Amino acid sequence: MGHEAVRQPITEAHTPQTIATSAQPLLNVQGLSVRFDGAPKGVNVVDDVSFSVSKGKTLCIVGESGCGKSVTSLALMGLLPTPPARIVGGSAMFDGQDLLTLTERERADLRGDRMAMIFQEPMTSLNPAFTIGDQIAEGIVRHRRVSKAEAMERALDMLKKVRIPAPEKRLRAYPHEMSGGMRQRVMIAMALANDPQLLIADEPTTALDVTIQAQILTLIRRLQEETGTAMILITHDLGVVAEVADEVAVMYAGRVVESGPVEAIFEDPQHPYTIGLMGSVPSLGRRQGRLATIRGTVPPAELMPKGCRFTPRCPFADTRCANDPPPLAEIKPGHRARCWYAPLEIHRGAAS
């Protein structure tokens, strides 16, 4: 029982509490749960998700497709289609106010102004019927007391900022006249046009060519440094995480299974899922046998275990794991893992 001192549950389900950190985080999400109508009882697509982002910092949310990353970000933006989605618990304190209790009008006032989002699909995210300039400018006019002409000026500045060649010409271009990479630059210009405090980027490079991916990522990174915007970057690419993250939250089947500073996650991963994830990154170094994979797949909602959702795929799982959901516990300062046996070297040292 000596390990009880090490483990301190940070959150109990649905009882939000603020963690005292040195700086007040810009966004503090506690116990966020989202349910889709028609899903089996008690199985939330996003379940008891907690994380926080500080001013100017980058939080990467990592996980395989379908783990609830996008749903989480859409819920924060207030863009989830309700129904079928329903936010059933939690809080999201953004600069002193709980996003989840705001009225739709208040949220619309925040969206595109103090918090903005970039989406995964640049090819379909721009309206084909309007020019680039019009689409950037309308977001500015919506939140700022400026004339249409001034907004267009600002739109032009933004196009220059995201390094679009011949920006004057592009202002009058339609989306179909541009490539995916250029459209994603436009989306970035649009998102940053009102100097948001928080930028949510949902897999912004996934749909792009590999060569373009790096450019876009560098661009986002540079603009973030220039403007001091906090960013939540959603990705499944651990290479990207290593490069840009300050903090990391690893999600599995709708839950955050591990979170902490990027160094801690990479150097000392604690959750078996995170460890598996690290093992499945191909590297250019000397090959040592087969690329490690996590056996099995994410269980469908109706087969979701009552306890830890990783149980069916976990090499260390036992009956307790299957029946009792572990809390997201702090195992080292700032480093949390949702596993009964974290830290693994203490509990399973012999086994692993």
Residues interacting with another protein, by CB under 8 A? 77, 79, 105, 108-113, 116-117, 119, 121, 124-130, 138-139, 142-143, 174, 176-177, 187, 190-191
Quote the least distance from Cβ 170 to another protein, whole Å.
14
Q: How far is CA 39 from the centre of its chain?
A: 23
Quote the least distance from Cβ 206 to another protein, whole Å.
14
Token reading at 81? 């289609």
Quote the least distance from Cβ 124 to another protein, whole Å.
4
Quote the least distance from Cβ 255 to another protein, whole Å.
25
Taking the least distance from each CB to another protein, the nearer of 141 and 275 is 141
Quote the least distance from Cβ 126 to another protein, whole Å.
6
Neighbours of 212 (CB within 10 A): 18
Taking the least distance from each CB to another protein, the nearer of 34 and 321 is 34
Quote the least distance from Cβ 39 to another protein, whole Å.
19
Quote the least distance from Cβ 173 to another protein, whole Å.
10
Quote the least distance from Cβ 191 to another protein, whole Å.
8
Taking the least distance from each CB to another protein, the nearer of 126 and 304 is 126
Taking the least distance from each CB to another protein, the nearer of 148 and 306 is 148
Taking the least distance from each CB to another protein, the nearer of 50 and 73 is 73
Q: What is the distance between the alpha carbons of residues 231 and 214, in angstroms, rounded to a whole number?
A: 17
Taking the least distance from each CB to another protein, the nearer of 118 and 250 is 118
Taking the least distance from each CB to another protein, the nearer of 155 and 250 is 155
Task: Residue 251: name the closest of 13, 14, 46 by CA.
Answer: 46
Taking the least distance from each CB to another protein, the nearer of 89 and 175 is 175
Quote the least distance from Cβ 129 to another protein, whole Å.
5
SS (H, E, C) the chain: CHHHHCCEECCECCECCCCCCCCCCCEEEEEEEEEECCCCCCCCCEEEEEEEECCCCEEEEECCCCCCHHHHHHHHHCCCCCCCEEEEEEEEEECCEEHHHCCHHHHHHHECCCEEEECCCCCCCCCCCCCHHHHHHHHHHHHCCCCHHHHHHHHHHHHHHCCCCCHHHHHCCCHHHCCHHHHHHHHHHHHHCCCCCEEEEECCCCCCCHHHHHHHHHHHHHHHHHHCCEEEEEECCHHHHHHHCCEEEEEECCEEEEEEEHHHHHHCCCCHHHHHHHHCCCCCCCCCCCCCCCCCCCCCHHHCCCCCCCHHHCCCCCHHHHHCCCCCEEEECCEEECCCCCCHHHHCCCCC
Q: What is the distance between the alpha carbons of residues 130 and 172, in angstroms, rounded to a whole number?
A: 9
Neighbours of 190 (CB within 10 A): 26
Taking the least distance from each CB to another protein, the nearer of 59 and 136 is 136
Quote the least distance from Cβ 108 to another protein, whole Å.
5
Cβ within 8 Å of residue 19, ≥6 positions away: 10, 28, 52
Taking the least distance from each CB to another protein, the nearer of 31 and 196 is 196
